[in-house]
């Protein structure tokens, strides 16, 4: 069956959450896409989000070089969340860490799991 980005469920701001995971299984980040960002990501295979703060397309890595190449796009059962398997160039996080999820809650404390990449 042909995939149609129109069939995805967007929130009242026209956005859908998109999770990026690398090939090792590490979850790198979560950001948002509008329908046009979904289409551009599929067409260009360069992951393109919608920046809510800048209200603009955000081609991941366009300024930093830390691009995400799309390997696979997956849709969840109720079509309101995306999971992308990506090839990540360098760190995904703006703090220079591989993943944005570098803080763990351990016995009530917030603990940093990883250091910024060199």
Task: List residues binding its own copies (CB under 8 A).
Answer: 1-3, 17, 19, 21, 24-27, 29-30, 42, 72-78, 81, 83, 93-95, 97, 100-106, 108-110, 113
Q: Give Cβ neighbours of residue 106 (< 8 Å, ≥ 6 apart).
A: none
Query: CB of 118: closest distance to its own copies in angstroms?
Result: 18
- Is 77 annotated to bind a ligand? Reply is yes
At its nearest, how many Å lie between its own copies and the CB of residue 108? 6
The DSSP letter of residue 114 is -
CA-to-CA dists, residue 35 to 8, 38, 48, 54, 60, angstroms: 8, 5, 11, 17, 16
78 is in an annotated binding site: yes
- Is 100 assigned a ligand-binding role in the annotation? yes
Query: What are the residues facing 69 on neighbouring strands?
Result: 46, 87
Q: Annotated binding site: which residue ranges? A: 76-78, 80, 93, 100
Q: Annotated binding site for Zn(2+): which residue ranges? A: 77, 93, 100
């Amino acid at each position: 069956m042909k995939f149609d980005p129109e069939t995805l469920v967007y929130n009242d701001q026209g956005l859908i959450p998109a999770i990026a995971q690398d090939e090792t299984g590490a979850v790198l980040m979560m950001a948002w896409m509008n329908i046009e960002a979904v289409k551009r990501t599929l067409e260009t295979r360069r992951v393109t989000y919608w920046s809510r703060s800048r209200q603009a397309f955000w081609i991941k890595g366009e300024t930093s070089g830390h691009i995400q190449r799309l390997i696979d796009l997956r849709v969840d059962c109720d079509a309101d969340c995306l999971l992308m398997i990506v090839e990540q160039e360098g760190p995904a996080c703006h703090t220079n860490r591989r993943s944005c999820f570098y803080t763990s809650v351990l016995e009530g404390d917030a603990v940093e799991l990883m250091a910024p990449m060199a």
